[in-house]
Amino acid sequence: MGQTLKALLQTRWGDDWLIGPSSRSFWQRLGELSPIFMAYRESCGSRCPGVLIAEPEPMQFLAACLAAWSEDCTVVLANPRWGDREHQQLQALVNPRWNAPILPGIKSYPCQVVDSQPGQILIPTGGSSGQIKFAIHSWDTLSVSIEGFRAHFGVEAVHAYCVLPLFHVSGLMQALRVLTSGGDLALQPYGQLKSGEGLILPPNGFLSLVPTQLQELLALGGEFIPWLRSFRAVLLGGAPAGKALLDQAQAAQIPVALTYGMTETAAQVATLLPEEFLAGQRSSGRPLPYVNLTIFNDQGKPQRSGQSGRVVIQAKSLALGYWGGSSDQVFNEKVSSMAGSAHPTGFATDDIGYLDEEGYLHIVGRSSSKIITGGENVFPEEIEAALLATGWVSDACVVGLPCDRWGQQICALVVMNSAKLLPDLPELLRSQLAPYKLPKQWILVSNLPRTAQGKLSRPQALTLAQKILGIDC
C-alpha cells in the first residue's frame, strides 16, 4: 500500500521534523542503526529476525524501531518500565536474549518470533487483565489507520505533540502520522510539559492525552488553557472520561475529540470531532472512513439504532492476529468474528455499545466486566461515570462481590479528596441510578490498582475489596 517504510524514510531523510529532540541526531542515529539491523537480519538466515526494543529514551527508541522495521526485522515493542513479572511473560512469549543486546547503548535484543512475517510489528496490549499479549500489525495496517485519520479531520500534514509513550499504539501512531504526512513531531515527557516547559508546534496540531492528564492540565490553569485551545484537536482516549471533566473542558472551550479504538485497530476507529464536542455531544463520534461498525446481540443478530450489543469492527487497519496471551504458552491467535455468530468476519470487541440514528457510537461498558446481580445486568462503567460526575470522587472502580442471595453484590472502591463526604454518596446516586445498580458496599482507598499500561485492573481491585472486607478469595 503506497510507499514502503524504507522508501518513506529515504524521502524524508534529513528533514527537520522533530521538536525537542535533535532531528540531525535522529537521522544520524538512524543511519548508524540501519546497517546494523540489516546485518543482524542476514545473520539470522532462515530464522525470522526478531528484535525486542525496550529503550527508555524516546528519540533512540524511535530511531531503533524505524531502523529495525525498515530492514524487515520483526519488531517487538516493550515498555521499558516493565518489571520482573512482565519480563517473565516476555521470556515465555518471545524469549529475548537480555544478556546479548544487538548493539551497545540501545536496549534492543534478539528474540524469537517463529512463524512471524518479515516487517511485522508487535505492539503490546493487555487491556485491564494485565496479561501481556501483542497485536500483530504491518506497515499496511498502520498506513490505513493513518490515511483514515487524515481524511476524518480533513488535514494533509499532521503536526503532533506527543507526551504518550512510543511503545504504546497511541504514541507510535502519532509519530507515524507525522512521518507519513510530512508534518512535525514534538516529543516531550509529560512531566516536563506539566512543569511548564512547553515546546512550540506549528498551528492546528494534535495533542493526545488520557483523561487524568487533561484533568491535571485543566487544574493547573494559567497558560495551559489557551495552550490547549490552540490545537486542532485534543484527542482523548485510553479510559472513560467523567462527565464533570468533559463539562469543564467544554466550558473552557478546549477542542476535545473523544476517541474509540484499541491496539488491535491501530488506534481510533471512531472519533467525535471537536466542534461536535463543543456543541455538547458526548459520544465516541462517527466511524473513520475505512471503518464499518456493527452492533450484534448475543445471538449474533444485528441491532437497530439505539439498541445495545457487542461492537464488531470491520476495517483494513485490523491487526493480523495476536502473539501471546498466556505466560506459559506462546500462540498466534487470529483476530476473527464471534464464534457461531451470523455477522460477516470482523473483530468482535469486548465492548457493549450502540449506534444512534445519526451513526454516532456510544459505549455502554465491557462485556467481561458485566455484573449480574439479582438477575439484572449491570455495567460498572455506568456507575463509575455517575460517581465521577458528582465531583466528589476523583477515581472509582466498581466490582461484583460473590453473594449467596443476589449472585453478585455491587461494591464501589472510591478515591475522594474528602472522606467526610463518603456517607452522603449513596443518597446522591439514588436519583441517577436504578436501585439495583446502587453499590451495597463502599470502600475508601487512597489509589486504585492499574496495569503496566495504566488501565484500571479490575481483577486486582476485586482482590483488594475482598481482602479489606475479609472475604475468602
* CA dist., res. 468 & res. 89, Å (int): 29
Same structural domain, 356 and 377: no
Q: What are phi and psi of 230, to 5 degrees?
A: -75, -10
- Return the C-alpha cell found at 81: 518500565
Do residue 32 and residue 89 come from a single domain? yes
Each residue's pLDDT, cut to its tens digit, for the chain (473 residues) gives: 578 999 999 999 999 999 999 999 999 999 999 999 999 999 998 888 999 999 999 999 999 999 999 999 999 999 998 888 788 889 999 999 999 999 988 999 999 998 888 899 999 986 545 578 899 999 999 999 999 999 999 999 999 999 999 999 999 999 999 999 999 999 999 999 999 889 999 999 999 998 889 989 999 999 999 999 999 999 998 877 878 889 999 999 999 999 999 999 999 999 999 999 999 999 999 999 999 999 998 888 899 999 999 999 999 999 999 997 443 333 234 444 433 333 356 899 989 999 999 999 999 888 888 898 887 888 898 899 899 989 899 999 999 998 877 888 999 999 998 999 999 999 999 888 888 899 999 999 999 998 766 778 888 999 999 999 998 65
Residue 221 grid cell: 490553569
Same domain, 211 and 344: yes
pLDDT at 221: 94
Is 134 within the bounds of a domain?
no
Tracing cell 445498580 back to the chain, one arrives at: 437
Q: Which residues constitute the domain of residue 388? A: 370-469
Q: Which amino acid is at 117?
A: Q
Rg of the chain over all Cα atoms, to the nearest angstrom? 23
What is the DSSP-derived secondary structure letter of residue 430? H
What pLDDT score does 366 carry?
81
DSSP code of residue 328: T
Task: Say yes or no: 344 and 392 in one domain.
Answer: no
Q: Could you say which of 367, 382, 400 is where a domain stops?
A: 367
Torsion of CA 94, 99, 101, 102, to 10 degrees: -80
Q: Looking at residue 282, which CATH number applies to its domain?
A: 3.40.50.12780
Does 107 lie in the same domain as 153? Answer: no
Reference 164, options 98, 234, 232; nearest CA is: 234
Collapsing DSSP states into helix, strand and coil, what is residue 287?
strand
Same domain flag for 54 and 29: yes
**Residue whose grid cell is 455495567:** 379
- Residue 75's SS3 state is strand
**Which one-letter DSSP state was computed for residue 23?**
H
The number of distinct structural domains making up the chain is 3
Closest CA to 178 of 2, 8, 61, 25: 8
Interhelix angle 139-153/169-181, nearest 10 degrees: 70
Beta strands in 112-226 (DSSP E): 121-125, 133-137, 160-162, 185-187, 206-209
- The answer to whether residue 124 is domain-embedded is no
Where do we find the cell 547503548? Answer: 105
Q: How far apart are CA 123 and CA 426, in angstroms?
A: 41
Examine the domain organization and report whether 303 and 414 are in the same domain. Answer: no
Q: Is 127 within 8 Å of 325 (Cβ atoms)?
A: no
To 10 degrees, the CA torsion angle through 202, 203, 204, 207? 50
One domain, residues 221 and 345: yes
Predicted pLDDT of residue 329: 30
Per-residue pLDDT, 368: 82
Task: Look at residue 338 in the predicted model and tell me its pLDDT.
Answer: 36
Instruction: Give pLDDT, residue 444.
Output: 96
pLDDT value of residue 17: 98
Does any domain span residue 128?
A: no
- Considering the domain architecture, whether residues 353 and 390 belong to the same structural domain is answered as no
Q: Which letter does DSSP use for residue 162 in this model? A: E
- Residue 53: name the closest of 84, 83, 75, 28 by CA: 75
What dihedral do alpha carbons 402, 403, 406, 412 form, nearest 10°? Answer: -60
pLDDT digits (tens, 9 = 90+) for 24-53: 999 999 999 999 999 999 999 888 899 999
Please indicate, yes or no, whether residues 286 and 425 belong to a single structural domain of this protein. Answer: no
Asked whether residue 44 is domain-assigned, the answer is yes
Regarding whether 278 and 211 lie in a shared domain, the answer is yes
Do 319 and 397 reside in the same domain of the chain?
A: no
